[in-house]
Amino acid sequence: MVSSALSFTVGALLPLIAIILPPNVIRVPVTVAAVLVALVVTGAASAALGGAPKARAIARNVIGGGLALSITYVVGHLIGAAIT
């Protein structure tokens, strides 16, 4: 349970930093890029640890995570949540 909480916290740091540091005009694109890079890295790491093909693990991570990211963004716009 502690490792799960720690993993979640560490995983949340990259998008948090990516949304806080850049100027308002480029916050969203910088955050999307940072998250996609993190998905590539975690896909490669999981493949290396599990002995699986890296390309497939990276693709699965980037497609699934990118889809979740896109859906979240669209739903936010539909309900009127604006990122400024």
How many CB atoms are closer than 10 A to CB 15? Answer: 16
The tokens describing 18, both together, are: 């990516």
Q: Is the pLDDT of residue 1 over 90?
A: no
**63-73 burial by CB neighbour count: b if 16+ within 10 A, else e?**
eebeeebeeee
pTM: 0.80
pLDDT at res. 82: 65
pLDDT in tens, 15-52: 899 989 999 899 989 999 999 999 999 899 989 999 99
Q: Is the pLDDT of residue 83 over 80?
A: no
DSSP string, 11-57: HHHHHHHHHHSS-GGGHHHHHHHHHHHHHHHHHHHHHHHHT--HHHH
